């Protein structure tokens, strides 16, 4: 799959994911909305992880970096904080994680290297 093909027709709902990220990062979530945002973010992250992991990162020497990142993401998902204030901050942390995964999911391994070589 090329970057254009992935970006043009990704196997996930890009607009929905970016909307959730934007809502979460616009302001610290309040107690009334944090659990819904956390649920949405976890769902998006769990949808994006296999897409990111399914790419050929070894081809451009990034397999270790991406592997470490996905391990940290999974660890973050399994160690949720207690307390409303901590969960509100956690939601914003997950939104940033989700944004990073979305970026990786929408590109192909080595794209940055190819763009730099074309300059």
Provide, rounded to the nearest whole percent, the portion of the chain with pLDDT above 90.
Answer: 76
- Residue 77 resides in a domain: yes
| Predicted TM-score (pTM) above 0.95 | no
Per-residue pLDDT, 112: 63
Let me know: does 48 contact 98? Beta carbons within 8 Å. yes
Taking 90 as the threshold, does the pLDDT of residue 37 lie above it? yes
**Domain-located, residue 17:** yes
For 65, half-sphere exposure in the C-beta direction (CA atoms, 13 angstrom radius) is 11
- 68 assigned to some structural domain: yes
Report the number of distinct structural domains present in the chain.
1
What's residue 119's pLDDT? 55
In-domain check, residue 29: yes
- Tell whether 26 is covered by a domain: yes
Domain extent for 61 = 3-108
Give the count of alpha carbons within 13 A of 102, CB side only: 21
As a whole number, mean pLDDT of residues 102-110 equals 90
Q: For residue 116, is it within any domain?
A: no
- Confidence label for 21 from pLDDT (cuts 50, 70 and 90): very high
Domain-embedded: residue 114: no
Kindly state whether residue 118 falls inside one of the protein's structural domains: no
63 CB contacts (<8 Å, ≥6 apart)?
Answer: 57
């Amino acid at each position: 799959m090329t970057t254009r093909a992935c970006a043009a027709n990704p196997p996930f709902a890009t607009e929905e994911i970016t909307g959730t990220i934007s809502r979460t990062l616009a302001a610290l979530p309040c107690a009334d909305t944090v659990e819904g945002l956390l649920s949405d973010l976890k769902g998006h992250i769990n949808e994006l992880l296999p897409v990111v992991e399914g790419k050929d990162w070894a081809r451009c020497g990034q397999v270790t970096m991406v592997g470490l990142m996905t391990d940290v993401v999974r660890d973050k998902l399994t160690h949720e904080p207690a307390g409303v204030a901590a969960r509100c901050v956690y939601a914003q942390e997950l939104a940033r994680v989700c944004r990073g995964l979305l970026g990786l999911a929408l590109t192909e391994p080595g794209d940055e290297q190819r763009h730099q070589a074309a300059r």
